[in-house]
């Protein structure tokens, strides 16, 4: 991408999209275009077509998606598969119809089988059953990957797919009904500290292990791959290290300064036992994560405190 290339960031106000915008601007890219969901409903094909005809972006970061944690995915499977399939289909096909030079599709590591060998390699896709609680979201994302690959083969497009691990950072969703585990813990511990609540409940046993990547690192990797990678195979984006939910809860507790106890509700689901991505391919392409978890947690909590009145405490 040239500094004056016209770049469309779909989902620019979300956790991922806002980080990509910050990264692009910091690197000197100035010809960026985006729309709020009220200005452009990506589930409406006629609106997407009109936007692409008018703006003619050269590069597209497809970071727009309906996302949520284990509760939202389990309770609203139809919403997750419907909305994500429509968003992806509309943006990917409109990119082809309007001669976009390159598109980067952001998936998720939930695409991998529940019991796939760890760390998860890119070639483990479709080798086993998915985690049932987020199957609808995963299937939609798999369809997006396959759509990019199919367009590359049939039309000669240059669409790449990246699979980020669990993300956190500025503009995260802190709604307890739909958020992911890390922002949910930040809010729970903060409110417990503020209200002098003696204990905080965490779902599950605390034994599952997860990997966490700060959103600014993900954005840096995405921009790097847009500039340095072309290929039909997906690329994992992660740090290559994981941590148990029990350990994570302790780290968030310390970051927030909460002094009460943590209680694990073992009647609630754990989800997949472990989710760690193999980042061999990413590292071989010349990129490695830079922000350690402790630093990221401090940054994320600072942002939460600064933006608590306008933070995404309720799902959009």
| DSSP annotation string for 53-102 | HHH--SEEEE-------HHHHHH-HHHHHHHHHHHHHHHHHHHHHTT-SE
Q: Residue 278 corresponds to which tokens in the numbers above?
A: 């193999």
Residue 17 labelled as part of a binding site: yes
Q: Residue 124 corresponds to which tokens in the numbers above?
A: 């483990």
- In which residue ranges of the chain is pLDDT below 70? 310-316
Rounded to whole angstroms, the Cα distance separating 160 from 235 reads 8
Rounded to whole angstroms, the Cα distance separating 303 from 295 reads 12
Q: Which of 8, 59, 112, 137 is catalytic?
A: 137
Residue 230 labelled as part of a binding site: no
- Residue 43 is predicted with a pLDDT of 97
Q: Hey, which residues does 214 pair with through a beta bridge?
A: 168
Nearest to 183 by CA among 133, 243, 256: 256
* Cα angle for residues 24, 26, 31 (degrees, 5° grid): 45
- Residue 316 is predicted with a pLDDT of 35
- Residue 271 is predicted with a pLDDT of 76
Rounded to whole angstroms, the Cα distance separating 270 from 268 reads 7
- Residue 313 is predicted with a pLDDT of 55
For domain 7-306, give its CATH number from 3.40.50.10490, 3.20.20.70, 3.40.50.720, 3.40.190.10.
3.40.50.720
Residue 101 labelled as part of a binding site: no
CA 75 to chain centre: 19
- Residue 76 is predicted with a pLDDT of 85
- Residue 312 is predicted with a pLDDT of 53
Report the C-alpha dihedral over residues 263, 269, 274, 276, rounded to 10 degrees.
Answer: -90
- Residue 311 is predicted with a pLDDT of 58
Residue 84 labelled as part of a binding site: no
CA 173 to chain centre: 11
- Residue 111 is predicted with a pLDDT of 94
Tell me if residue 258 is catalytic. Answer: no
Nearest to 158 by CA among 113, 225, 89, 111: 225
């Amino acid at each position: 991408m040239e500094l004056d290339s016209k770049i469309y960031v779909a989902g620019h106000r979300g956790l991922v999209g806002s980080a990509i915008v910050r990264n692009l601007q910091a690197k000197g890219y100035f010809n960026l275009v985006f729309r709020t969901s009220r200005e452009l409903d990506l589930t409406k094909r006629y609106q997407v077509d009109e936007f692409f005809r008018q703006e003619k972006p050269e590069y597209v970061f497809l970071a727009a998606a309906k996302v949520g944690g284990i509760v939202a995915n389990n309770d609203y499977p139809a919403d997750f598969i419907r909305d994500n399939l429509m968003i992806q289909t509309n943006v990917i096909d409109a990119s082809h119809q309007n001669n976009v030079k390159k598109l980067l599709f952001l998936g998720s590591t939930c695409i991998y089988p529940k019991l796939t060998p760890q760390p998860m390699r890119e070639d483990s896709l479709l080798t086993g059953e998915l985690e049932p609680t987020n199957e609808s979201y995963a299937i939609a994302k798999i369809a997006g990957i396959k759509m990019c690959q199919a367009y590359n083969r049939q039309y000669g497009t240059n669409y790449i797919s990246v699979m980020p691990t669990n993300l956190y950072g500025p503009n995260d969703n802190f709604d307890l009904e739909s958020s992911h585990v890390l922002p949910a813990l930040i809010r729970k511990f903060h409110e417990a500290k503020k209200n002098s609540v003696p204990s905080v409940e965490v779902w599950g046993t605390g034994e599952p292990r997860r990997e966490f990547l700060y959103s600014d690192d993900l954005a840096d990797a995405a921009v790097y791959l847009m500039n340095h990678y072309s290929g039909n195979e997906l690329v994992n984006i992660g740090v290559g290290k994981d941590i148990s939910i029990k350990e994570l809860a302790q780290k968030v507790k310390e970051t927030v300064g909460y002094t009460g106890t943590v209680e694990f509700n073992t009647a609630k689901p754990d989800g997949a036992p472990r989710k760690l991505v193999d980042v061999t391919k990413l590292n071989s392409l010349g990129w490695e994560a830079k922000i350690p978890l402790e630093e990221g947690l401090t940054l994320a909590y600072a942002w939460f405190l600064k933006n608590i009145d306008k933070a995404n405490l309720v799902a959009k």
